[in-house]
Each structure stands twice: as C-alpha cells, then as structure tokens.
Amino acid sequence: MKKLALHWQILLGMALGVVFALLLSNFAWGSDFISDWIKPFGTIFINALKLIAVPLILASLIKGISDLKDISQLSKMGFRTISIYIMTTIIAVSIGLLTVNIVKPGNTISEDTRTELVESYGGDADLTRQNAQKQKDAGPLQALIDLVPDNIIGAAGKNSNMLQVIFFAIFFGVCLILIPEKTAQPVKDFFDGFNEVILKMIDIIMLAAPYGVFALLAALVVEAPSADLFAALGMYALCVVGGLFIMIIIYTLIVWIFTKKSPSFFINGISPAQLLAFSTSSSAATLPVTMERVEEHLGVEKEVTSFVLPIGATINMDGTSLYQAVAAVFIAQAFGMELSIATQLGIIATATLASIGSAAVPGAGMVMLVIVLAQAGIPEAGLALIFAIDRPLDMCRTTVNVTGDASVSMLVAKSVNKLRDKPLVKNWDDNYKK
C-alpha cells in the first residue's frame, strides 16, 4: 500500500469496502457486523477530519490575511473570489436545468413507485420541510445576523457555524494588519506555528484515509434502500451525475486556459481530496485535505488557499446547486407539472443564493432544496421521491464542490501572481529524513 499513490490507495479502499459489504450481505449477520464493527472506524475517520477543520480555518485564514500587509490586497482578492464563485454557480445551475429538460427523467417514475417512496420517506421529508420553514420564517436579513457570532467559542464549537468562524478570522486578521508590526509579530508567529502543526496532523490523519473510506463505503452499501427503488430513479441519478461530470470538465478547461496547467496536473493534484469528498459527503470535513493538496500539489501559495478555500467550502456549492436544479424539475415532472422559462430562471437565482447559505455538511443541500421548490411552486412532498438515492448523489456533488473550490483558488492565485510554477510537496515525516 505504501508504494501506491494516495488516490490509488483511497480508490482501492473504496472498492474493497463495496466488495466486502456485498459479500457479507449474503449472511444474516453481515449487515449488523458491518454496522457494529466496521462503520465506527469510518465515523472516527470523519470525526478526526472535522476535529481540525475549525482550528485550520482560524490559523490559516488569520495567517493568510495578516501576511497580505495591505487591506487593499484583501479587498481585491475577496472581490475576485466571490465573483468567480457566483459565476461558476450560475453555470452549474444552468447546466442542471439544461440536462434535466433534455432527459426528462421524471417521466420514468411510475405511480406505484412514487407511492412507495412517499410512504417510505415521508417522515424524512416532513422533518426537512420543518427545518427549511425555520430558515424561511427567520426574515430576509437573518443571514447577516447569523454571520456575526455573539460568542466565538460557541461558534467554533460547531462545524455548522463555519461562516461565523470565518468572519472572526477575517476580522482578527484585518486588525493584525492595522496594529504596529512589532506588536503583531508575536501573534503572527504563534499562528504560523499553529498552522504548521495542524497541517502535520492532516498528513498523519490521511495515512488512515484508505481504511476510513473502506469503512464508510461498506456501511453505505448495507444501509442502502432496495435495488428496485434505485432502478426507478436511475435516469434521475444519471441526469445529476452527467451534469456534475460536465462541471468537472468545465473546471479543468478553465484551469487549463487561464493558468496553462494541464488537465492531468490538475486532476492528479486534487484527486485525493475529490475521493475523500466522495467518501465523506462533506466539504467541511474534506477542507483540510483540499487545502493541503491545492497548496502543496497545485502550487497555490498559502495566503491564497487560506482565504479562498475556507470561504469556498462555505459559499461555493456548485454541485449542490446543479443537483437542486435537476431535483426541482425532476419532482415537477414526476407530478406532471410544466415549468415556465420564468420559473426556471427563478430556480437559477434561488439555487445560487441558497448555495451561499448551505452548510458544508452531508445532506445540507436537501434543506436548501425545499426553498428552491417553494419558490418554483413545486410540491415539497416530492422530496420523498429523491430521498432513497440522495446519499450517493450527495457524495458526487460534494466531489464537484471541492473541485470547484480548487479551480477557483488557482484562478485567483494566477490573477494575483501567487501561483507557483512548481509545487512544493511535503511529506508527513520530512523532519526525520536524512
């Protein structure tokens, strides 16, 4: 295993996890064995990554901003970052709408299958609607209120409050720029060292990645709904996956055109983060690995990665936005509804805005989808139609989210002359090599 590249190790772990689960599923005790003795190791792996997400954001973002020396550099980088993220999100939603209108997967859902899905997942749909209703009832400026924490310790205690942690880190970093350099230097030195420790923790945790994804995939297989339901939703799934694949091609071409880096360079550099995103379905859990791969293997300098990637993990949800567009139209088709051009343009706007507030954790896109459905006048009960296959698609769209974050960081780095010609790769045991 040690002789294989990390992404091949992860792929092997995923494949063995699926095969292992399929074999044990033939025994009456197989599913319980995987749930009780295999799945916990996958949970531990995800928890280890989540453990360092908040410290990484605090350390890297504060360091990255304070190293800029000038607030004007921050505003220029911030404007470019957010502008590119919004543009890629609009492209993603448009591709989703185009794909679902051409394929029309809703026509493949039979009345019997629809009834069975509603009965099986109606309770989950009700809970999701309740969560979305809370967000809708909160008021138009609630997002701004939620941006500013009243207690940074409390905000840092939950990975779902990433925007509040980012706000504090940016505020802290800007203030470090504004105070005398002699006073700020000890604080900057502390965060420099703190950041290096967190990055070393990432290297060590990633040694367990093949085993973690083995456990995650094995658990997913034994907990999946029946094959009949997946077959009924196959066209919908292909529609989403096809759109997501197109987005990855677009990212690769954009990187190639604007940074002159080859597609193979980009994919090889980011592939371990993509595979981890696929396994965990969480941009937040994958963020430490994304930052390490983009900085060390794609050549983006730390002051760009520490600013662009944490923000991207929170507001850049291209894969989620594309999925919301496909899912909304699919549900409408399943209910026999025809959506006008104006309604579908509204879906583009709503999905783009909803993606900004979507938490970087598994399943968060489902809550935001309710808002998209409500805006388009589509029955929210239709959520039950897609619950059965949401988890595998969540894995795919998270992969696209992470790929989008990496590509945008390269574009921003190129625009501010912070993209190295040759990456500087570090190994977990560098200090022990002679």
Is residue 83 within 8 Å of residue 315, measured between CB atoms? no
More confident residue, 1 or 66: 66
Least confident piece of the model among 29-38, 73-82, 92-101: 73-82
State pLDDT tens for residues 341-350: 877 887 887 7
Q: Angle at which helices 283-296 and 302-315 pack, to 10 degrees?
A: 160
Three-class secondary structure of residue 1 per DSSP = coil
State pLDDT tens for residues 9-60: 877 888 898 899 989 988 889 889 998 999 899 888 878 877 877 887 788 7
CA dihedral 202, 205, 210, 216 (to 10 degrees): -100
Give the pLDDT score at 380.
64
CA angle 61, 287, 323 (to 5 degrees): 120
pTM: 0.68
Give the pLDDT score at 118.
58
- CA-to-CA distance for 135 and 137, rounded, in angstroms? 6
Give the pLDDT score at 428.
57
State pLDDT tens for residues 350-364: 777 666 545 444 445
Give the pLDDT score at 203.
77
Give the pLDDT score at 429.
59
State pLDDT tens for residues 155-165: 888 666 666 88
Band of the pLDDT at 144, cuts 50, 70, 90? Answer: confident
Cα-based distances in Å from 354 to 141, 370, 372, 398: 14, 10, 8, 16
Give the pLDDT score at 250.
95
More confident residue, 136 or 74: 74
Burial class (CB in 10 A: 0-12, 13-18, 19+), 12: middle
Q: What is the mean pLDDT of residues 378-386?
A: 67
Q: Is the pLDDT of residue 116 over 90?
A: no
Least confident piece of the model among 185-189, 305-309, 430-434: 430-434
Spatial CB neighbours of 30, under 8 Å, sequence gap ≥ 6: 21, 23, 24, 222
Cα-based distances in Å from 178 to 69, 79, 188, 228, 269: 9, 20, 13, 62, 36
Backbone angles phi, psi at 199, to 5 degrees: -65, -35
Give the pLDDT score at 361.
46
Is residue 360 within 8 Å of residue 287, measured between CB atoms? yes
- CA-to-CA distance for 97 and 344, rounded, in angstroms? 8
Mean pLDDT of the chain: 79
Give the pLDDT score at 359.
47
Backbone angles phi, psi at 92, to 5 degrees: -60, -45
Give the pLDDT score at 208.
85
Give the pLDDT score at 8.
78
Question: Which range scores top for mean pLDDT: 96-110, 138-152, 178-192, 281-295?
Answer: 178-192
Give the pLDDT score at 406.
93
Give the pLDDT score at 16.
92
Q: Is the pLDDT of residue 117 over 60?
A: no
Give the pLDDT score at 282.
77
